[in-house]
Amino acid sequence: MDSSAPVRIAIPALHVSTSIIRLGLNSDGTMQVPPGPGKAGWYVNGPTPGELGPAVIAAHVTWNRRPDVFFKLGAVKPGDRVKVSRRDGSTAVFEITRVAQYAKKDFPTQEVYGTTDHAALRLITCGGVFDGEDNRYLDNVVAYAKLLPGKPARH
């Protein structure tokens, strides 16, 4: 698929459907996260969903201790579908291949952001134990997906 910014993500198995904003990098080199609840964010320094390489979309697991967009991300299963609506009117449809949880200190940056030989999608949120003192989760949950072959759907 040609480059086209994502505008919406739907994960039917999780009853998720939300708009997508643009995310860049923080001053410390880490990826930004959505500034509030209810939205997902696409990492603009990577490919768009459907292009060759790993597109990355992140969202919060909770916001103010309430479930947010990717609250159930760890429950997706291989074979579940992810639909990403794109600005050009097409929809990139992905299939989950696996889900993993990593301690933030052991985050596999190359595995998540590194080159792939196919159009891929990485969905990222926080997970694991919540550290109330530091007001953060200690882990990240990453769902890996591949673009399904065939003509892109139109929305």
Identify the DSSP state of 68: -
Task: Report the alpha-carbon distance of residue 126 to residue 133 in Å, rounded.
Answer: 16
User: Which tens digits make up the pLDDT trace of 107-131?
Assistant: 999 999 999 999 999 999 999 999 9
**Domain presence at residue 113:** yes
- The domain of 143 spans 6-154
Burial-class residue 44 by CB neighbours within 10 Å (0-12, 13-18, 19+): middle
User: Which tens digits make up the pLDDT trace of 13-35?
Assistant: 999 999 999 999 999 999 999 99
Residue 27 belongs to domain with CATH number: 2.40.260.10
Mean of the per-residue pLDDT values of the chain: 95
**Domain presence at residue 1:** no
Considering its fold, how many domains does the chain have in total?
1
pLDDT at 153: 54
**Domain presence at residue 107:** yes
Strands 90-103 and 153-154: antiparallel
pLDDT at 98: 98
pLDDT band at 89 (very low <50, low <70, confident <90, very high): very high
Dihedral angle over CA of 20, 79, 125, 119, nearest 10: -60
Measured from the Cβ of residue 62, the count of other Cβ atoms closer than 10 Å reads 16
Q: Taking a C-beta distance cutoff of 8 angstroms, is the pair 141, 75 a contact?
A: no
Strands 40-43 and 16-23: parallel
Task: Note the Cα 127 to chain centre separation in Å.
Answer: 14
Structure token digits, residue 87: 């600005």
**Domain presence at residue 26:** yes
pLDDT at 152: 59
User: Which tens digits make up the pLDDT trace of 47-84?
Assistant: 999 999 999 999 999 999 899 999 999 999 999 999 99
pLDDT at 155: 52
